[in-house]
Amino acid sequence: MKNIIKNKIILVTGGTGSFGKAFIKRILEENPKAIRVYSRDELKQHEMQIAFGNDKRLRFFIGDVRDKQRLSRACNGADYIVHAAALKHVLACEYNPIEAIKTNIYGAINVIDAALDNNIEKVIALSTDKASQPINLYGATKLCSDKLMVQANNYRGKRHTKFSVVRYGNVMASRGSVIPFFYDQAKQGKLTITDDEMTRFWISLDEAVEFVLDSFPLMKGGEIFVPKIPSMNIIDLAEVIAPKAEMEIIGLRPGEKLHESLISAEESLYTYDIGNRYMIEPSSVVNWENESIKYSQKKEVPLDFTYTSLNNPDYLTKKQMRAQLKKLNLHSK
């Protein structure tokens, strides 16, 4: 990893978000030449600059991924891009569909064009379990973004830019996630549960960061990487956070699934087990066969394979989740 990041210039779109800040904090340990923080919010950038002790390796760019010209300027001279900027709130995307499309789809197109125009070496885009068999607009826009990133490998021409995607589930305690929401509700003694059968995938922020970092030396360009992560029933999570609180079942909200999927049955035809993760191979990337042979450890998954939060063999117990929350300093005091 040190050889991958050392003396490199990395641009992080959405750099002031939960993932962006954690990712930047981590890669500063690997002695990059510079990290460019690209985001829309000047206040968050100012607060981040102070929190990071005015580290001279950080460069702050006010900009939106919708703005291709500004994004391209920010990419000039960079080596890697981590594309984390997105509109992510399911309900907000349902009620503001055009805005979601502008950021999540056209923003991805701008990242691709800026990367190609500036001869960026590697691009990793962050995705979500909601992009697998999507039923809401957020998931649909991220599926489209994933497809764009994968297919970008086909029209890079003589450039050496490589594009890959990482897809994972809910990040524990990230902004807007259910965990801080439950903690806020617990203060009032009542938690709202959409459905008592609901399950979700879970990954810690640190695990998500390491997964992305590990993908840089591994990627050949065109893969979708999926981590092997645990699931948990939402009502079990609620009982861990507020065991004495009243639980009210309110029904599924617009665009909400009962169970999430990380790999669908259709995608399993191109999916391989490569150890600590699954890899979904691109079905139509030129010369992929020459790249795929470099994955000597890959194993085919069963023909009827799917990877959902319901059929996941790795389930978090209440004790395990309690330990996770304590590690994150989110346990009830």
Residue type at 195 in one-letter notation: D
Cβ contact 122:165 at 8 Å: no
Marked catalytic residue, from 130, 142, 220, 257? 130
Q: Around Cβ 73, how many Cβ atoms within 10 Å? A: 13
Closest CA to 243 of 332, 327, 329, 323: 332
As a whole number of Å, the CA-based R_g of the chain is 20
9-13 vs 34-39, strand pairing mode: parallel
Q: Which helix (H) or strand (E) holds 127?
A: strand 122-128
Tabulate helix, strand, coil % of the chain (nearest 5).
Answer: 40, 20, 40
130 catalytic? Reply is: yes
Return the amino acid letter for 269.
Answer: L
Residues comprising the chain, all counted = 333
- Identify whether the C-beta of residue 218 lies closer than 8 Å to the C-beta of residue 273: no
What DSSP designation does 131 have? G
- CA 286/CA 154 separation, integer angstroms: 6
CA atoms within 13 A on the CB side of 79: 12
CB count within 10 Å of CB 284 equals 10
Decide: 129 and 168 in contact? Cβ < 8 Å.
Answer: yes
List the structure tokens of 247.
């639980």
Q: Hey, which residues are catalytic here?
A: 130
